[in-house]
Structure 1
Amino acid sequence: MTTPPRPWRTEFAATLTLAWPLVATNLAQALVGATDVAMLGRLGPDTLAAATLGLNLYLVFLVFGMGLTTAAVPMIARERGARPHAVRDIRRTVRQTIWVAATLCIPSWILLWQAEPILVHLLDQDPALAHEAARFVRAVMWGMLPSLAFLVLRAFVAALERPGWSLVVMVGLLSVNAALNWMLIFGHAGFPALGLLGSGMASSIANGLSFVAMAIVIVCARPFRRYHLLGRFWRPDWPRYRAVWTLGLPIAITLGFESTVFIAAVFLMGLLGTVPLAAHAIAIQIASVTFMVPLGIAQAATVRVGLASGRGDRAGIGRAGWAAFAIGEGFMVLTALLLVLAPQLLIGIILDVDAPANAPVVALAISLLAVAAVFQVVDGAQVIGAGMLRGLGDTTVPMLFAAIGYWGIGIGVGAWLAFARGWGGVGIWTGLATGLAVVSVLMIARWHARERLGLG
C-alpha cells in the first residue's frame, strides 16, 4: 500500500531540518555579544554604558552590511530552484556579494574612526562615556569586513541547505572570542588588562579567524569544492555586482530602520542617565538572544520559499512560508512567558542582582523585560514575514513598511511616552513594541496578498 503524500508534514520537517542549525548559529553569534557584555558588566555600569554606546554605533554600519549580504540567500536559492546545478551563477553571486561588502567597509571605517565627535556633537552623549566608547569602536571596527565575508559564505552554505558547517565555525568563534576577552579585558595569561579596548580587539581577531575557518571549509569540503568560490576572486562581474545592490539595498535599509530604531532607543536612554542605559543594555541583550530563533527560522523561510519560487511551485511557496511562520510564532509565545515569569534569573546572568549598588538597574530591567514579553510575538512575526517575502525577491515595499513602523510610529510613540508623558525607559520600550506590531501586520498582510500582487 502506497503512503499518501503529506506535503505539509514534509514542509514542516524540511523547514525544521534547515532552521535548527541556522538558529543555533544565530544563538552562538548572539552569545558572542552576550559574552562581551557579561564580562564588561563586571567592570561596572559606566564601562557597560560606554560599551553599549560604542557597540550600537558600530552596529549601524555592520547591520547595513548584513542586509546587503543577505541578498545572496534568495538569489542563490532561486537559482538552485530553477537549475539545481547552477554552479556558475551561484559562484558569481557569492563573489560579487563579497565585493559589495568590501565596497561598503571603506566609507564605514572612515566614519567609525570619528566615533567620539559623532557621539558627543551629533548624538549629545556624555563626553567621558563617548571617549571610552570611541576607543572600543576603533578596535572593533576592523572585524567588520571579515564578519561580512563570513556571512556571505554562511549564506552560500545555507542556500545549499547545508548550514551545519557555519554552526561549527560559529561555535569555534564563540570559544575563541570568550578566551580572548578573558585575556585582554582582565589581563590573564600574561596579557595586559585593557578593559574596553581589549574587548574590541578580541572581537576583531575572532571575526578574522572565523572567516579564515569558513574559507577553509568552502575550499576543502566535498559539497562545496566544485563551486571554486575563491578562485580568480579579483575578476569583476559588474552585472551581478549591480544585481546584488538592487536586491540587497532595500534589505539593508530595512534592517537599518529596524536596528537604528533600537540604537536610537539606546541614545534616548543615554539622555535619561546611566541607570536607564545600563538597564536597557541588559534587557536588549536578553531579548536579542531570544530573537535569534525566529531570525534563523526566517532565514530558512527565505531559502525554502526561494527554492519553491525558482521551481514555479505556487502551492509550495505557500506551504514554505506558513510552516515557518507557525514554528517561529509558537516559539516566541513561549519566550514571552519566560520573560514574565523569570526576569531576575535572566538578569542575573549579566549582572549581580544581589548587589545593593545594582538594585536600581535590576528594578528597571525587570520592567523593561515585561514590555519585551509583549513585543516578542510581534517581533517574531515581522522578521519571519520579511524572510518569507525575501524568498520571493520582494524587498522594496517591506523597506517602506519598516520606515513607517519603526521610525514613524515606534520611535515617535516611544519618545512621546518617555519624555512628554513621563514614562521614562518603559515608555521608550512601549513605543518599540507598538512599531513592531504595525510592521508585523503589514508584512503578513502583504504575504497573504502575494498572488494578487504578482509576487514570485
Structure 2
Amino acid sequence: MTSTTGTDHAPSALTPPLALELWDTIRLAAPMALTQLSQIAMMSTDLAFIGRLGGDPVAAAALAGTVYFVGSTFGMGLMSAVAPLAAQAFGAADAGLVRRALRVGLWAGLLVALPIMLIALNGETILLALGQAPGVARLAQDYLAGLAWGIAPMLWFMALRSFMGAVNRPEPVLWITLTAIPLNALLVYPLLYGHWGFPQLGLTGAGLATSTVNLATFLAGLWFATFRPPFRDYRVLAQLGRIDWRLMRQLLVIGAPISLSFLLEYGLFSAAAILMGLISTPALAAHQIALQITAILFMVPFGISMAATVRVGHAVGRNDAHGVRRAGLMAMLLGLVLAVLFTLGIVVARFEIVRLFLGAGIVDADATVALAATLLLVGTTFFITDALQSIAVGALRGIKDTRVPLLLAVLGYWLVGFPASYALGFHTPLGAVGIWIGLSAGTTLYAALLVLRFLRLSR
C-alpha cells in the first residue's frame, strides 16, 4: 500500500498525531466494546437462569450454543464485511456507497438466514451423530427450537451495527443493547420457569425470549438508521428492493473468508465442547462456564477489533498508508494492555466468578467449580493472545485482507490447536486441562502470524 505524493494526501497532513489516534480509537472502541459486553451479558443471564435447573440443562445449553454459532457463522462473516466496505466509502466521502454497503448486507442476511435456521432446527440429529447423550441432545434441541426464529433479525442488526460504526456513530447500538439486557431477563425468567402467568416452556422459552429480543433490537436499530441524524442523511431504505449484485459479489469475496475464519475458530471451540462431552458431563459444564467467562473477556478486544477495522478502513479510504499502520498498531497496543489487566482480575477471583454460574444443590457442583477455575488459570496466555489475534485480524479486514488470515487460521487452529487439544486431552493424564492447553497453543501461533502479516502489509 502506498500513499500519494500530493500535499493534500501526504501522511503528515492526513494522519492524526499518536495521542489523537489513541483517543479516536478509544472513543470508537468504547461503545463497541460495551455493546459486545451487553450482548454477552444477555447470554450470561440465560446461562445463569438455566444453571438453576441442573447440570444437564447447562450442558445442553453449551451444545445448543455450539450448533447455533456454527450454523450462523457464515451470516456473521458476511455482516462483518459491511464494516470495511462502509468504512472505506466513508473515508472516501462516498455516501452512496455507504448506503449500498448496508443494503447488500441486509439482503445477504436474509438470503443466508433460512439455511441457518434449518441447521438449528435439526440440531438434535447433528448432536446424536456426534455421539452426545440423547437426553442432553433433546434438551439442546428444545433451546434451538426457540433460538432459530431470531437468526434473521440478529444478522440484520449486525449489518446495522457495522454501518453505524463505519460512520463513527456506534452509540445508538450501545443504547439499544443496554435496554435489551433487562428486557431479555424479563422474558427469559417467566418463559423458562413458568412464572407470572406464563406457561413453563423450559429451554424453548429461553430461546424464544432471545429471538424476541433479537427482533426488538433490529427494529430499534432500523428506526435510528431511518429517522435519526446523521444516519437519515444516508437514506438507508432508498431502493431497498433492488439488489446490487456487483457489490454483493464484493461482499462475498470479503465476507466468505471471514465466515470461514469464524467457522474455523468457533469450530475449534465447538470441537473442544464435543471432546469435553466425551470426557464427562461435569467436564462439559465446567468448559462451558469457563468459556462463557472467556467470552466476556473477549468482548472488549472484539470491540477494539471492530474499531480497528473502521479506523484502518477510514485511512484506506483517504489513501493514507501511514495512518493504516498507526491505526492498527494503536488498536493492538490498547487491546493488549486491557487484556492483561482483565486477565489478572479473572485469575484472582476465578472461584467466586465460577460460582455465579451454578446454583446450590447441583450434583458435582464443587468438582465443576474446581475444574472451571483450573481451566481459567490454564487459559491466562490464551486470553491475551486471543485478544491480540482478534484485533490484528480486525485491522487486516480494514484493508480487505481476509484470504491469507483464513489460511493462517487453518494452520493455527486446526493443524496445531485441535491436534494438541486431542492429544493432551485423551493421551495424557491432563484430560480437560490438556484440551485447554491445546487451545492456547493454537491461538498463540495464530495471533503471532496475524501481527506479522499486518506489519508486512502496512510497512
Tell me the distance in 1 between the aligned counterparts of 2:101 and 2:108: 10
Q: Deviations over 1:239-271 (max 9, x none)?
A: 111111111101111111111111111111110
Tell me the distance in 2 between the aligned counterparts of 1:155 and 1:6: 23
Tell me the distance in 1 between the aligned counterparts of 2:405 and 2:399: 12
| Larger displacement relative to structure 2 (427-436 or 189-198) | 189-198
Deviation at 1:63, TM superposition (A): 2.8
In structure 1, the partner of 2:215 is: 208
Q: Choose the corresponding residue for 1:40, options 38, 50, 61.
A: 50
How is 1:139-218 mapped onto 2 (pairs within 5 angstroms)?
139-218=146-225
Runs of 4+ in structure 1 displaced over 2 angstroms? 352-357
Q: Secondary structure at the match of 1:239?
A: helix
Amino acid at match of 1:64: F
**Matched-pair contact (CA < 8 Å) for 2:351–2:370:** no
1:117 correspondence with 2:128: no
Q: Secondary structure at the match of 1:30?
A: helix
Tell me the distance in 1 between the aligned counterparts of 2:151 and 2:314: 30
Amino acid at match of 1:30: I
Amino acid at match of 1:62: S
Q: Choose the corresponding residue for 2:24, options 11, 14, 28.
A: 14
1:320 correspondence with 2:330: no
1:100 correspondence with 2:108: yes
Tell me the distance in 2 between the aligned counterparts of 1:201 and 1:6: 46
Tell me the distance in 2 between the aligned counterparts of 1:366 and 1:378: 19
Deviation at 1:120, TM superposition (A): 0.3
Q: Secondary structure at the match of 2:379?
A: helix
Deviation at 1:16, TM superposition (A): 0.5
Deviation at 1:64, TM superposition (A): 2.5
In structure 1, the partner of 2:409 is: 402
Q: Choose the corresponding residue for 1:28, options 38, 58, 78.
A: 38
1:244 correspondence with 2:257: no
Amino acid at match of 2:102: V
1:88 correspondence with 2:71: no
Amino acid at match of 1:54: A
In structure 2, the partner of 1:336 is: 343
Amino acid at match of 2:19: R
Amino acid at match of 2:367: P
Q: Choose the corresponding residue for 2:84, options 60, 74, 90.
A: 74
TM-score under structure 2 normalisation?
0.95
* Alignment RMSD: 1.4
Q: Deviations over 1:401-448 (max 9, x none)?
A: 111111111111001000011311111111000000000010001111
In structure 2, the partner of 1:223 is: 230
Structure 1 gap ranges (5+)? none
Tell me the distance in 2 between the aligned counterparts of 1:338 and 1:150: 32
| Larger displacement relative to structure 2 (60-69 or 88-97) | 60-69
Pairs aligned (count): 445
Deviation at 1:352, TM superposition (A): 4.1
Tell me the distance in 2 between the aligned counterparts of 1:282 and 1:415: 20
Tell me the distance in 1 between the aligned counterparts of 2:123 and 2:207: 14
Amino acid at match of 2:43: G
Q: Percentage identity across aligned positions? A: 39
Deviation at 1:143, TM superposition (A): 0.5
Deviation at 1:356, TM superposition (A): 7.4
Tell me the distance in 2 between the aligned counterparts of 1:31 and 1:53: 19
In 2 relative to 1, CA 367–297 (structure 1 residues): closer, same or farther, beyond 3 Å?
A: same
In structure 2, the partner of 1:308 is: 315
In 2 relative to 1, CA 280–353 (structure 1 residues): closer, same or farther, beyond 3 Å?
A: farther
Q: Secondary structure at the match of 1:193?
A: coil
In 2 relative to 1, CA 167–358 (structure 1 residues): closer, same or farther, beyond 3 Å?
A: same
Deviation at 1:316, TM superposition (A): 1.0
TM-score under structure 1 normalisation?
0.95
In structure 2, the partner of 1:359 is: 366
Deviation at 1:357, TM superposition (A): 3.9
Deviation at 1:299, TM superposition (A): 0.5
In 2 relative to 1, CA 271–356 (structure 1 residues): closer, same or farther, beyond 3 Å?
A: closer
Tell me the distance in 2 between the aligned counterparts of 1:182 and 1:6: 48
In 2 relative to 1, CA 295–318 (structure 1 residues): closer, same or farther, beyond 3 Å?
A: same
Amino acid at match of 2:306: Q
Q: Choose the corresponding residue for 1:254, options 261, 276, 281.
A: 261
Q: Deviations over 1:366-416 (max 9, x none)?
A: 110011222111111100110111111100000111111111111110010
Deviation at 1:317, TM superposition (A): 1.1
1:286 correspondence with 2:288: no
